Chains A and B, each alone.
Chain A
Amino acid sequence: MALFDLKDKSRYATFSRRAFLLTGGMTGVFAALAARLYQLQIVDGRDFLTAADANRVNQRLVAPARGRILDRFGIELANDRRNYRVLIIPEQVSSVRQSIDALARVVSVAPQQREKALRLVAQNKPFIPVAVLENLSWEDFARINVNLPYLPGVQPDVGETRDYPFADELSHVLGYVAVVGPDDKRDDGDMLLNLPGFRIGKRGIEKKFDRDIRGQAGIAREDAYGRVIRELNRQPGVPGKDVYLTIDRQLQKFVSDRLGTESTACAVMDVENGDVLALASTPSFDPNLFNIGITSAQWRALTSDDHTPLMNKVLSGVYPPGSTFKPAVALAGVEAGIAVPGYSVFCSGGLTLGNHEFHCWKRGGHGQVDLHKAIQQSCDVFFYETARRIGIDAIAAAARKLGLGAPTGIEIPGERAGTIPDAEWKEATYGVPWQQGETLVAGIGQGYVLVTPIQLCTQAARIASGKNVSPRMVYAVGEERQPRGDFEPLGFSDDALAAVRSGMSAVANEAGGTAYAWRIPDAGFEMAGKTGTAQVRVITKEERLHGVQKNENLPWNLRDHALFIAFAPIDKPRYACAIVMEHGAVADHPHVQMVRDILLFTQKRDPRKLPAAYPVTSA
């Protein structure tokens, strides 16, 4: 039992005094804290509130929805598809590997998808979501959503991705979208290009109208770390405009199927208003690959193919027109007053100029040939002689009037001009004067003459309509109708045009015509046309002596190109078509058969008469 502690009294007194002092001190500290709070919250509160508001606002660009591309009947050729995907935010899961394992028990996760996701996780900050799976089927996506309680850290998400539902059928028209490259930013200051994963048009309509289809950036405001914790507000931006094409998707499909796997370029257009109804370059490629991400093996396959699937041969392929150039020479001849009725040339199978022999394709010769027969049977000697008489400058002028040798202005980037030579051009390009022999060669569409298939199609349409129609593919961008010129008469006399059309009709419809075997027999649908063959190799004197090698016996890449231009129907033409089949000059003229089928299909379908998504005729 403790004794009463006498000394404790003084200790207690001291303790009380000092505790009182400490209490005072502590109260003072609390008062100081209170004063500080008063200063921060009451005196300076308004300033800090402003600072807090400014603080939380971090503007983030939001990609607008990309506009669609539609055909003349409103069928979607390119759209933004819903991309069902699965995201993982690394900082919100204990282990990304375990989360992917859990996911793999619900849907299949390929090893490379797994690798890619883990690589992205390692490369990025932990709060940046990583897409583990993309482009999931609705069934898989639904399965993930149902199993979500067992999938830690997995976030189902619906993104948007560009989709080309008809895959390789229209790739050369539409082009494709792909990730922004360093060059793209040079002359395009749009902030959207800085968005990670943003895609822009790289070819075709997607490139040409990218600014319209792209739309304008929206803005989302978030916290300063870029973490999507909560969106404070959102300006959705302006969605991209839809682009309506003149293409008829049904016809396009027919053309593209008909061309098959040969290396071929083909265009179909309306001879009155220039609407391009189909434009195909085969073989083609799947534009979706470039959006999803093309593998190096796929890329190698596309670039090493000698059929050049990536090239749009309709616009970017330049070929000697061969005999398809003869209607232009014929028109020039009539206009020059030379190839008038009664004018004829005797073909013995060749023509000598100076010490050079110019051969006709028919070794025995055609005998006496007038303009009609010359076009029908494609007599070279007639055109050598006629060309010699009218001269290169008149031929060049007529060819240019028909749209050859200059870009047509079609709304797809990458169009080449080709060449229509004349004396001035030769002087400027080679510094030497024009030779008369070259006029003869040009008279049958060889030598310096180079054209694109779309120019050939334009040529056919102009001969058919007599007007300077130009090909066009875009009706409207959003609500805005694209300007469309009033086409003027070409300035050729009606007689000249009638004579050439009649010759071209005879090509397919009179016995002895070069395409008579592949005419359209259906009454009222008959086509007029002009065949052509473009030589790609030099035929030596010796070979000519022993007989020219048949194309069928040559390696593919040494065979002649096969060409054909046509319009139909013959009495009142509405549709024109041109085809170039690379190294396709074989006896049974598959390219002429293609055009025959295409023009018959086009006429029977008659897309001009069908109700279009946008009215075709007015304005």
Chain B
Amino acid sequence: MNAPYIGARRALTIREKLLAIDWRVVILITIIACIGFTMLYSIAGGRLSPWASAQITRFGVGLVLMAGAACVDIRWWLRLAYPAYAISFLLLIAVEVAGHVGLGAQRWIELGPLQIQPSEFMKLSLVLALARYLHSQNVEDISNPRTLAVPLAMIFVPAALVLVQPNLGTATILVADGCGLLFLAGLSWWWIAPAIAGVAAAVPIAWQFLHDYQKRRVMTFLNPSSDALGAGWNITQAKIAIGSGGLTGKGFLQGTQSRLDFLPEKETDFIFTTLGEEFGFIGSMMLLALFMAVIFFGIRIAMASRSQFGRLLAMGVTLNFFFYIMINGAMVMGLIPVVGIPMPLLSYGGTAMLSVMFGFGLLMSVHVHRRVEIPRRAGGLL
């Protein structure tokens, strides 16, 4: 590697940092994004507008954002972790108090022309904050209830706030990301095993607290034909779209399901169905392979970091990416109930795209600064 030794006396220049970015990952991401553009082009009936062109612009912005985040020294991310978490948390409270109700849920707040979805910020802020907190803990200490109480609160309080918005999908991802990081940090199996058992036992109780629409989604998932034209519509139509693709698909621009408007939200959450329909099993498997490749690169970057913060941050971002794919994929294939989670890099949507690209920026920052060692008690709040 030509890049100067990062533990060395001098800091890297911006140019050196940009060169140090793992461009193989960037190429993979770009390929996946291009598949997304193609799908949006097809859904619009072979036109760039209204979706593909806007999405391309967003991806371009996202790439710049990613490069920018990659160049920020990892120690700065460590310092910014708690403030970012605090701001996200306050925004979550704000959206609860004064949020905009959209699609039956309070998810946005408007700042001038910007629509802010604090739950989206919270995912990465939580990863940052947990990584920072766990960075200062020894493996032996983590399972100490007093030590554990703090990260558990950091996970579950915002998750609860998101859940009551209501946004079951994002709340699930917050909990999954957080628990994943605790697991990686070495949480004792004596905690893990009872927790799994407890969750299983809690399902019937949690059911009582679900919103009607959430219950309905679960019920229709379990028996889609019970409401084939209502809430079961999405599931049934998505399965028909994907299934009718067969081995090789109907061909580019030849999908009848998605283009004839059978699928609601076909350009956002259900975009995978168009891929399945037009490019079939082969195309779908290629996309899954690309996703897996990105995840493996993410894990490799995590393993190569010399700091626990870097490892946890990289792994947290990767896990977050993975959970998106898992939940969205399982949803469109009719394996789990419908929750509002987009397919990363593919689904049309600005916040999701920028959030995912910013996540990759953090991952790249870990990669660029993989040789930086960070002391346990590094930095103050800022």
Contacts and interface: CB of A to CB of B under 8 A. Distances in A.
A424 interface: no
A55 B359 CA distance: 40
Given A5-B375, A11-B308, A227-B261, A48 B243 contact: yes
B280 A223 contact: no
Nearest to B238: A40
Contacts of A53: 244, 256
B373 A11 contact: no
B12 to A, nearest CB: 17
A46 to B, nearest CB: 7
B260 A34 contact: no
Interface string A1-44: 01111011011101110110011001101101110111011101
Given A22-B180, A48-B242, A225-B261, A41 B276 contact: yes
B138 interface: yes
Question: Chain B: interface secondary structure?
Answer: helix
Nearest to B335: A36
B134 to A, nearest CB: 9
Contact of A55 (B139, B247, B257, B259): B257
B152 to A, nearest CB: 18
B330 interface: yes
A8 B183 CA distance: 16
A13 to B, nearest CB: 9
A224 interface: yes
A545 interface: no
A15 B309 CA distance: 11
B246 A51 contact: no
The 7 closest A-B pairs by CB, nearest first: A48-B243, A52-B244, A223-B260, A2-B375, A45-B246, A14-B186, A41-B281
B262 A56 contact: yes
B244 A45 contact: yes
B260 A15 contact: no
A2 B242 contact: no
B277 to A, nearest CB: 8
Contact of B326 (A22, A29, A224, A225): A29
Where chain A touches its partner, the secondary structure class is helix
B256 A30 contact: no
Contacts of B163: none
A544 interface: no
Nearest to B376: A5
Interface in B265-314: 276-277, 280-281, 284-285, 288, 291-292, 295-296, 299, 302-303, 308, 311-312
A49 interface: yes
Interface in A31-79: 32-34, 36-38, 40-42, 44-49, 51-53, 55-56
B322 interface: yes
Contacts of A10: 138-139
Size class of A's contact patch?
35 or more
Interface string B318-333: 0100100010011001
Interface of B: 45, 138-139, 180, 183-186, 237, 239-247, 256-257, 259-262, 276-277, 280-281, 284-285, 288, 291-292, 295-296, 299, 302-303, 308, 311-312, 315, 319, 322, 326, 329-330, 333-335, 373-376, 378
B244 A49 contact: yes
Given A41-B284, A52-B256, A11 B138 contact: yes
Contact of A37 (B259, B333, B373): B333
Given A11-B139, A45-B244, A19 B280 contact: no
A230 interface: yes
A14 B142 CA distance: 12
A27 B261 CA distance: 34
A33 B329 contact: yes
18 contacts: A2-B373, A2-B378, A7-B139, A10-B139, A14-B184, A19-B303, A26-B326, A37-B333, A40-B276, A41-B243, A41-B245, A51-B240, A51-B243, A52-B240, A55-B240, A55-B257, A56-B257, A224-B260
Contacts, number: 153
Interface string A410-452: 0000000000000000000000000000000000000000000
Contacts of A122: none
A2 B74 CA distance: 14
B184 A18 contact: yes
Contact of B315 (A19, A37, A47): A19
B186 A37 contact: no
Contact of B288 (A7, A30, A230): A30
- Central interface residue in B139, B244, B276, B319, by most chain A CB within 10 Å: B244
Contact of A14 (B139, B247, B373): B139
A191 interface: no
B375 A41 contact: no
A34 B289 CA distance: 10
A7 B247 CA distance: 52
Contact of A5 (B186, B244, B335, B373): B373
Nearest to A26: B322
A42 to B, nearest CB: 6
Contact of A15 (B242, B280, B311): B311
Given A2-B374, A23-B299, A37-B276, 18 more contacts: A2-B373, A11-B186, A15-B303, A22-B315, A22-B319, A23-B296, A26-B295, A30-B292, A33-B333, A36-B330, A41-B243, A41-B276, A47-B243, A51-B244, A55-B262, A223-B260, A224-B262, A227-B261
Contacts of A587: none
A10 B140 CA distance: 10
A229 interface: yes
Contact of B243 (A7, A19, A45, A227): A45
A18 B333 CA distance: 29
A33 B375 contact: no
A223 B261 contact: yes
A48 B244 contact: yes
Given A12-B311, A37-B284, A44 B243 contact: yes
B343 to A, nearest CB: 12
Interface string A519-545: 000000000000000000000000000
Contacts of B285: 34, 37
Contacts of B375: 2-3, 5
A41 B186 contact: no
Nearest to B141: A7
A37 B276 CA distance: 9
B330 A45 contact: no
A224 to B, nearest CB: 7
B185 A15 contact: yes
A18 B334 CA distance: 30
Interface in A147-188: none
Contacts of A230: 45, 259-260
A23 B101 CA distance: 38
Contacts of A33: 288, 326, 329-330, 333, 335
B194 to A, nearest CB: 18
Contacts of A47: 243
Nearest to B246: A45
A19 B303 CA distance: 8
Given A11-B308, A22-B319, A41 B242 contact: yes
A223 B259 CA distance: 9
Contacts of B302: 15, 19
A18 B183 contact: yes
Nearest to A23: B299
Between A34, A48, A227, the greatest number of chain B beta carbons within 10 A of the residue's beta carbon is seen for: A48
Contact of A27 (B257, B260, B292, B308): B292
A52 B312 CA distance: 45
A12 B299 CA distance: 13
B243 A34 contact: no
B246 A49 contact: yes
A4 to B, nearest CB: 8
Contacts of B322: 26, 29
A316 to B, nearest CB: 52
Given A34-B288, A44-B243, A45-B243, A8 B308 contact: yes
A19 B295 CA distance: 12
B378 to A, nearest CB: 7
